[in-house]
């Protein structure tokens, strides 16, 4: 018994570091439970995912359109009922078709997306994507400005239905173009980031234009602002389209077998 204690004491004297390490806590284990370190690692991982997912220029372009076009679409959809209330004549207040128009807009949006799926168009051709984005923003600019000044409820219904159809058609195309540039594991991440950014921009636009803390303008003026918003987007995407076509040339073509269709 005594000899065993002597051996252990001698071992400790020869290697005092072993004894210290046996009684000191494992710092690495403690740090792994530190919330600050976990948060730091989580942010680094998130940043790396963003850098990887948005490394493709096509993903960046379509994601920008997704973010800003979705913001404008949400704003128009949120306040179109208020505008229709102003446009509807007093003697027709009891007979309104707002709900039917919303349903009709959804129907023609679905039909337009299905039609898009059968078009034998190479949507990946350089310059085509930017041209489509710019063209839709130009149409949205005109539609929203006319909506803001319209006094005919039926014309307003028609313009709103066309507005919704173009948005849902091109957002389906954006989904296709983004998805084919990503791995399946990143679909939800990128789409979630795009929608989150759209909601952030929408919140800022609401605070500035609609909220009492901001401009607090009437509904017709709101739609004029949204028309200007889409007008700015049309200028940006038109410039991008001209630059892409000028840089790559109008004669650029992909092989026929690389034609992509919208999945319906």
Report yes or no on 75 lying in a domain: yes
| 143 pLDDT above the threshold of 60 | yes
Q: Does residue 223 contact residue 144 with C-beta atoms inside 8 Å?
A: yes
| 82 pLDDT above the threshold of 90 | yes
**Which of 3-17, 37-51, 246-260 holds the top average pLDDT?**
37-51
Each residue's pLDDT tens digit, 177-190: 888 888 877 888 89
Same domain, 228 and 110: yes
| 57 pLDDT above the threshold of 80 | yes
Report yes or no on 263 lying in a domain: no
Same domain, 223 and 110: yes
Same domain, 27 and 149: no
Report yes or no on 50 lying in a domain: no
Same domain, 164 and 218: yes
**Of residues 31 and 50, more confidently modeled:** 50
DSSP 61-88: HHHHHHHHHHHHHHHHHHHHHHHHHHHS
User: So what's the pLDDT on residue 142?
Assistant: 96
Q: How far apart are CA 198 and CA 207, in angstroms?
A: 14
Structure token pair of residue 158: 């028609």
Same domain, 157 and 35: no
Give the confidence band of 209 by pLDDT, cuts at 50, 70, 90. Answer: very high
Same domain, 22 and 151: no
**Which of 33-37, 236-240, 243-247, 251-255 holds the top average pLDDT?**
236-240
| 48 pLDDT above the threshold of 90 | no
User: So what's the pLDDT on residue 12?
Assistant: 44
Report yes or no on 61 lying in a domain: yes
CATH code at 218? Answer: 1.20.1250.20
**Of residues 18 and 69, more confidently modeled:** 69
User: So what's the pLDDT on residue 53?
Assistant: 84
**Of residues 43 and 171, more confidently modeled:** 171
Going by C-alpha positions, the residue among 150, 198, 143 that lies closest to residue 166 is 143
Report yes or no on 169 lying in a domain: yes
Give the confidence band of 248 by pLDDT, cuts at 50, 70, 90. Answer: confident
User: Taking the model in full, what pTM does it have?
Assistant: 0.77
Lowest mean per-residue pLDDT among 17-21, 111-115, 247-251: 17-21
Same domain, 31 and 122: no
Same domain, 117 and 187: yes
Range of the domain at 225: 57-258
Give the pLDDT mean for 187-195: 90
Same domain, 134 and 178: yes
Report yes or no on 202 lying in a domain: yes
Counted domains in the chain: 2
Same domain, 32 and 72: no
Report yes or no on 113 lying in a domain: yes
Report yes or no on 174 lying in a domain: yes
Same domain, 20 and 66: no
């Amino acid at each position: 018994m005594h000899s065993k204690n002597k051996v252990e004491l001698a071992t400790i004297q020869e290697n005092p570091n072993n004894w210290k390490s046996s009684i000191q806590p494992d710092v690495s284990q403690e740090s792994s439970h530190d919330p600050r370190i976990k948060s730091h690692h989580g942010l680094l991982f998130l940043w790396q995912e963003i850098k990887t997912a948005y490394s493709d220029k096509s993903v960046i372009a379509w994601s920008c359109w997704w973010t800003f076009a979705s913001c404008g679409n949400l704003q128009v959809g949120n306040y179109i009922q208020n505008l229709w209330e102003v446009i509807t004549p007093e003697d027709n207040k009891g007979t309104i078709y707002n709900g039917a128009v919303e349903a009709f807009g959804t129907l023609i949006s679905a039909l337009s997306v299905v039609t898009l799926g059968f078009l034998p168009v190479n949507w990946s051709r350089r310059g085509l994507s930017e041209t489509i984005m710019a063209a839709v923003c130009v149409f949205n600019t005109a539609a929203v400005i006319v909506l803001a000044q319209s006094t005919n409820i039926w014309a307003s219904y028609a313009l709103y239905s066309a507005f919704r159809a173009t948005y849902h058609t091109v957002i389906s195309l954006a989904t296709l173009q983004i998805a084919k540039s990503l791995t399946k594991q990143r679909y939800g991440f990128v789409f979630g980031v795009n929608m989150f950014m759209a909601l952030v921009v929408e919140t800022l636009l609401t605070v500035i234009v609609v909220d009492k803390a901001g401009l607090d303008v009437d509904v017709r003026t709101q739609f004029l602002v949204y028309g200007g918003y889409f007008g700015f987007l049309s200028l940006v995407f038109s410039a991008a389209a001209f630059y892409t076509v000028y840089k790559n040339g109008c004669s650029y073509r992909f092989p026929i077998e690389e034609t992509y269709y919208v999945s319906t």
